[in-house]
Structure 1
Amino acid sequence: MGTDEPAGGRFQSFAAFYPHYIHEHSNRTCRRIHVVGSALVLVALAAAVVTRNAWWLLAMPLIGYGFAWVGHFFFEKNRPATFRYPLWSLMGDWRMFFETVTGRRPF
């Protein structure tokens, strides 16, 4: 459990979870690796559609989680939120990605 998690041990909403998610991505290199990984997931999705090859779909989680976990284990030095909050972590990743590519969050 992270230091900013509620006393009960679990977040009750994504709105409450997202500030924790952002705090767990305070290292700039970790955030950058996440954004690059998410962009490559979109490239893999496009490749699956264009080539009609489902192997690209199987590559998507490997790319996304692979990049994210490298960012956490080697740069952020924390445990990815995916292990405790899988859905909210995925939602947080895409929100952080879109905030970054739209300029609302620093790259």
Structure 2
Amino acid sequence: MARSKALPTTYREFWPYYLQEHSAVNTRRLHYLGSTLSLCIFAVAAALGRPSLLAIGLLAGYGPAWVGHYFVECNRPATFKFPFWSLISDFRMWACWLLGTINTELAKASVSQPAVATLS
């Protein structure tokens, strides 16, 4: 799919851009893994009162996602140019996956992707 060269200036423009930067299903899977791991580690850190675990949670979240970008998607993570919108979108994409709406969101963003099960 041809990607627009103009960078988004609003979050409304950013969301489709973000999904286009995550067009490979394995990139999205690595993001889902990272988001789930980071939330679990953050919960454990809160439950145990161990703020030192927060750094591990960040690493667990970003590590798999960046592997997906560099080795699967072969692009640069949007985090570097749009850190706040990317963080929001990581969890928005994760929530769409959990709710079974990710394929609808991908279609709205004109992301061509193979037919996959809801939790893919």
TM-score, structure 2 normalization? 0.80
Q: Distance in 2 between matches of 1:85 and 1:5?
A: 15
Identity of aligned residues (%): 40
2:81 to 80, 84, 90: 84
Is 1:95–2:92 an aligned residue pair? Answer: yes
Please give the per-residue CA displacement for 1:32-75, whole angstroms capped at 9, x wherever unaligned.
00001000011001110121111211212111111110010111
Q: Distance in 2 between matches of 1:91 and 1:28?
A: 19
Alignment correspondent of 2:4 = 4
CA RMSD of aligned residues (A): 1.4
Contact kept, 8 Å, 1:25 with 1:76, in 2: the verdict is: yes
- For this pair of structures, how many residues does the alignment match? 103
TM-score, structure 1 normalization? 0.89
Is 1:39–2:36 an aligned residue pair? Answer: yes
Runs of 4+ in 1 over 6 A off after TM superposition: none
1:4 partner amino acid: S
| 1:96 match: secondary structure | helix
What is the CA distance between 1:12 and its match in structure 2?
A: 1.7
Gaps of 5+ in 2: 103-117
What is the CA distance between 1:5 and its match in structure 2?
A: 3.9
Alignment correspondent of 1:61 = 58
| 2:50 match: secondary structure | coil
* Distance change >3 Å, CA 14–CA 57, structure 1 → 2: same
Contact kept, 8 Å, 2:3 with 2:20, in 1: the verdict is: no
